[in-house]
Amino acid sequence: MELLEKYDKLSEQLLKTFEGKIERGDAIEPRDNMPDGYRKHLIRQISQHAHSEVIGMQPEGNWITRAPSLKAKQVLLAKIQDEGGHGLYLYSAAETLGITRKEMIDQLHTGKAKYSNIFNYPSLTWADIGAIGWLVDGAAIVNQVSLQRTSYGPYSRAMVRICKEESFHQRQGYEIMAKMMKGTKDQQEMAQDAMNRWWWPSLMMFGPHDGESPHTSDAVKWKIKRSSNDELRQKFIDKTVPQAELIGLTMPDKDLKWNETKNCYDHGPIDWNEFYRVINGNGPCNRQRMEHHARVHHEGGWVRAAAEAYSKKKENI
């Protein structure tokens, strides 16, 4: 009995130390003691964030060979390369919590792990590349700037590095949209069509409304999230609407209206049926995204084997 009491006392002390660090806003580091729930929550969120970065390379990769100029191709290539790097930072941050890269990839391929809803839509025209950079990366920046202050050290440091590159992504997308809106009527219609198709799924990126989010209360308690889904969504809307109006795009939301009292935009209802349909595997491109990822992962097996063999050889020298 005495041993059990000692164990309970020690566990209580360790929890108090963890809670004290969270309270003070100290970073939790990989070797720190942490509740299983905290570790599990982070592995889920960080690995899904990493999957999103890598899967997000597909819709944009679709336009590398069809970019309208050499410069546009170079900028798009740089952006896509950045996203791959973001995925690697985040997989490495998740690995510090005790999950292996193989386990994370298996979870993705078996549908156990999600990735962002937004990457299950097709990139139909060059204007989509503009809308993705401007709206998708714009939404990601709003979320990721907040995540720079997340309580888990490796995740927060990865966010600081990633946010520096995301602002270039958002700007390159906005520049594409601005250029097209100054172009021919066809180009303006193409840009407006992309706006219409990407606006609402970009709002869904922030997750369900706060009252419907099963993870937000823990995320806020453990300072993993420093703002709620709705707070971040609102910040994105308030920042993006003036940008759209500046270049002459029409917002695809007839209920969008500035609310003087609340000092922010009121917006129309989000189609959560579409959101859950897409994140549960039934979006326009879910199957294609997974098939591509699984095929390329298999084809790249020899690179991983060679890298492992090399690092083993180096260890034995």
- Looking only at residues 264 through 283 of this chain, which bind ligand 3HC when binding is defined by CB under 6 A? 279
The 142-161 contact track toward ligand 3HC, x by CB under 6 A, reads -x------------------
Contact segment (CB under 6 A) with ligand 3HC among 206-214, 258-266, 290-298, 301-309 equals 206-214
- Looking only at residues 33 through 92 of this chain, which bind ligand 3HC when binding is defined by CB under 6 A? 44-45, 48-49, 52-53, 56, 83, 86
Q: Round to whole Å and give the CA distance between 153 and 147.
A: 11
Is residue 137 a contact residue for ligand 3HC (CB under 6 A)?
Answer: yes
Is residue 202 a contact residue for ligand 3HC (CB under 6 A)?
Answer: no
CB of 154 to ligand 3HC, least distance (A): 14
**Contact residues for 84 (Cβ-Cβ < 8 A; gap 6+):** 53, 54, 57
CB of 258 to ligand 3HC, least distance (A): 25
Phi, psi dihedrals of residue 264, rounded to the nearest 5°: -160, 175
Helix intervals (H) in the chain: 2-24, 36-55, 57-61, 70-95, 101-109, 126-131, 137-147, 153-181, 185-204, 216-221, 229-246, 272-277, 286-299, 301-316
Q: Kindly tell me which of 212 and 308 has the beta carbon lying closer to ligand 3HC.
A: 212
**Contact residues for 142 (Cβ-Cβ < 8 A; gap 6+):** 206, 232, 235, 236, 239
Q: Which residues bind ligand 3HC (CB under 6 A)?
A: 44-45, 48-49, 52-53, 56, 83, 86, 114, 116-117, 136-137, 140, 143, 166, 204-208, 213-216, 219, 229, 279
